[in-house]
Amino acid sequence: MVALRRRREEPEDQFDSGSSSESEEVVVSTEKSRRPAENAFRQQRLKAYHPILTPKTIIPLLLGLAVIFIPLGGGMLYGSRQIEEMVIDYTQCENLASSDYYSEIPVEYVKTEFHKNASINAQWKYATDESQTFEDERGLCKIQFTTPNDIGSPVFMYYKLKNFYANHRRYVQSFSEDQLNGKAASTDKIKNNAGQNCKPLSTNHEGKKYYPCGLIANSLFNDTFSSPLAKNGTSKDYSMTNEGIAWSSDKDRFKKTKYNVSEIVPPPNWYKKYPNGYTEDNLPDISTWEELQNWMHPSALPLFSKLVLRNDVSAMPAGTYEVTIGLHFPVTDYNGHKYLYISTRSVIGSKNSFLGIAWIVGGGICLILSMVFLIVNMVHPRKTGDLSMLSWNKQPEEHRD
């Protein structure tokens, strides 16, 4: 602050003998100071750790990281190798499989990982389901396979899609959270809600709201899968359920709708499932429709899998089984692929060798560097400098007046 001084002369006292006095008055300026507050943070005096990179600190650190990373990576890789799985590409079943007999599935369409290194003898057959109203919905792909040993439990059945790009910005945002929460969202809400709206599938030409609206729900994967049925002398079927296939948190997100049936219509691609629209009897309850709940979580990559059936109680005995797949979801138009995927699980989750390999490689690099630095330090040791000369170790100089 700036202090200004001025002298004020006081009037001469008419009753005094010509004496005068002077006084000084300090006037303080109201100009605001820009100086930061006096604390360690504002004045950049926070305490900091300044590590000294010497052989005595670097070599033990790298060696310690190697001792931690390599065993952890080995454990992850071992856990991944314990998982057994089978992946069958059934995209071309309609075109390549015979409708009269079972034929061998081409080897490039089959991938397996079992403890016993044996062929699963995968075969397929194309059949038709005459109970379907629409002719192009009648296709069935019957897949037979043999498990060489008992697998699981638990045992999970997935469908897997390739070249399905669900990460487009417009696709990911095309849904109504209010509808999923069971609210009777208005037309304005599902059209103009910032960040998440159902454009371009909000309402039909009559102004009725699609339920559930948006591109994600409209593209719902609708191939159907049966539980594995026993074949060729196998003692019994292997029962699997679709209960519990969705995230446990989804029960708080997906609620039964409050819409009146007269207000809503099915999405365009659901026409064959609801040819006459919604009625009081067929209105879907998304709070219990776990396949839809899984689909409403768009995947970030064009290759992904979604859980469709599971058995957490019993193992799948070795034997021959048949899974019947209803063919309703087209993928060949965009060079896509769809797979039947059966797998088990370990303590680290699903099969993923990359994680264990990455930890082992990282630990190996640390081990190699520690050995190199140790040898170099022993052959050509470098004298350590005087640490007291470092700027942060120097004593502040005393200033003389």
At 396 the pLDDT is: 65
Confidence bin at 30 (pLDDT 50/70/90): low
β-bridge mates for residue 112, sequence order: 86
Q: What is the pLDDT of residue 229?
A: 95
| Rg value, the chain, Cα | 37
Buried/exposed 311-340: b ≥16 CB within 10 Å, e otherwise: beeebbbebbbbbbbbbbbebeeeebbbbb
Quote the pLDDT of residue 39.
86
Helix axis angle for 55-81 and 353-379, nearest 10°, is 160
Per-residue pLDDT at 27: 52
Q: What's at 320, amino acid-wise? A: T
Q: What are the angstrom distances between the C-alpha of 389 and each of 50, 52, 384, 394, 395?
A: 14, 13, 12, 6, 9
Average pLDDT over residues 313-342: 95
pLDDT score of 61 more than 70: yes
> How much is the mean pLDDT over the chain?
87
Q: Residue 153: is its pLDDT beyond 70?
A: yes
Distance of CA 302 to the CA centre of its chain: 13
Contact status, residue 100 vs residue 123, Cβ threshold 8 Å: no
305, 221 Cβ separation under 8 angstroms: no
pLDDT band at 6 (very low <50, low <70, confident <90, very high): very low
What pTM, to 2 d.p., does this model score? 0.78
Q: What's the rounded mean pLDDT across residues 138-167? A: 94
| Cα 292 to Cα 220: distance, rounded to the nearest angstrom | 7
Query: Can you give the pLDDT at residue 13?
Result: 47
8 A C-beta contact, residue 69 and residue 363: yes
Residue recorded with tokens 């005995």: 317
Residues with Cβ within 8 Å of residue 274, at least 6 apart in sequence: 266, 282
Q: Strand, coil or helix: what is 6? A: strand
Other CB atoms within 10 A of residue 376 CB? 13
Higher pLDDT, 292 or 389: 292
| Dihedral (Cα; 56, 58, 61, 65), 10-degree rounding | -150
3-state helix, strand, coil split of the chain in percent (to 5) is 25, 20, 50
What pLDDT does residue 203 have?
93
Question: What's the CA gap between 66 and 373, in Å, rounded?
Answer: 14
* Residue 23: predicted pLDDT: 47
Q: How far is CA 192 from CA 115, 174, 217, in A?
A: 54, 11, 18
- DSSP strands (E only) in 226-318: 229-231, 264-265, 304-311
Phi, psi (deg, nearest 5) at residue 54: -120, 160
Would you say residue 330 has pLDDT above 50?
yes
Inter-CA distances, 136 with 328, 330, 345, Å: 8, 10, 36
Which tokens is 185 given?
């969202």
Question: Percent of the chain beyond pLDDT 70?
Answer: 89
pLDDT band with cut points at 50, 70 and 90 for residue 2? very low
User: How do beta strands 209-210 and 264-265 pair?
Assistant: parallel
> Structure tokens of 1?
């602050």
Q: Which two tokens stand for residue 244?
A: 């519990």
pLDDT of residue 397: 61
* % the chain with pLDDT above 90: 69
Write the pLDDT tens digit of every residue in 236-294. 999 999 999 999 999 999 999 999 999 999 999 999 999 999 999 999 999 999 999 99
Q: What are phi and psi of 207, to 5 degrees?
A: 90, 0
Q: What is the pLDDT of residue 141?
A: 97
The encoded tokens of residue 104 equal: 């061998």
- Output 386 or 246, whichever has higher pLDDT: 246
Task: With cut-offs at 50, 70 and 90, classify the pLDDT of residue 222.
Answer: very high
Q: Give the residue, 26 or 349, on which the prediction is more confident.
A: 349
